[in-house]
Amino acid sequence: MLGKSLLWQRALFPAIGYALCGLAAGCAGSGPLLIPVRGTVKLTGRHLTAGYVSYRADAGQGNQTLHIPTGQISAEGRYELFTNGRAGAPPGWYKVLVFVDENQRQGAVHPLRPKWLTDEKYTQEETTDLRVEVKTPAAETAYDLQLE
């Protein structure tokens, strides 16, 4: 009797394990709902031509995502956010950070300290005054950023 029970367990447990792995892979592969986020970045009315934009969840406004959507600023001053390699950002309110380091633009390999081309307040969650709500539908210019 013990032999049949052991055979049953050896057959059943791997089948359950494979089923659970399949479900987990299916869920993990789909990822969070992402909304397309594209915009321009201007500093005192002129397009920035390099750098990065990073959205950080604003927990004070109810956004609990752990994702950090990020995008590169093009030579035309445009950016598009990506989350884990997929275009877009999860819905919710975000604090927006902008990083434009003059040292990197000039090709410095290991600068000691960044030389920010924007006000340093835009490089930290605690000091940035840029806030954006990612939602659908959104106005065409909803994600355009104007820095001082």
The 10s digit of each residue's pLDDT in 109-143 is 666 788 898 999 999 999 999 999 999 999 999 99
The reported pLDDT for the residue numbered 5 is: 46
The 10s digit of each residue's pLDDT in 11-34 is 343 434 433 333 344 444 578 899
Mean pLDDT of the chain: 83
Quick one: average pLDDT of 40-67? 96
Confidence tier at 84 by pLDDT (50, 70, 90): very high
The reported pLDDT for the residue numbered 29 is: 54
Q: How do the domains of the chain map onto residue ranges?
A: 1-30, 38-147
CB 117 within 8 Å of CB 60: no
The reported pLDDT for the residue numbered 111 is: 61
User: Percentage of the chain surpassing pLDDT 90?
Assistant: 66
CB 109 within 8 Å of CB 116: no
User: Percentage of the chain surpassing pLDDT 70?
Assistant: 74
The reported pLDDT for the residue numbered 12 is: 40
The reported pLDDT for the residue numbered 102 is: 83
Confidence tier at 63 by pLDDT (50, 70, 90): very high
> What is the three-state SS of the chain?
CHHHHHHHHHHHHHHHHHHHHHHHHHHHHHCCCCECCEEEEEECCEECCCCEEEEEECHHHCCCCCCCCEEECCCCCEEECEECCEECECCEEEEEEEECEHHHHCCCCCCCCCCECCCHHHHCCCCCCCEEEECCCCCCCCCCEEEC
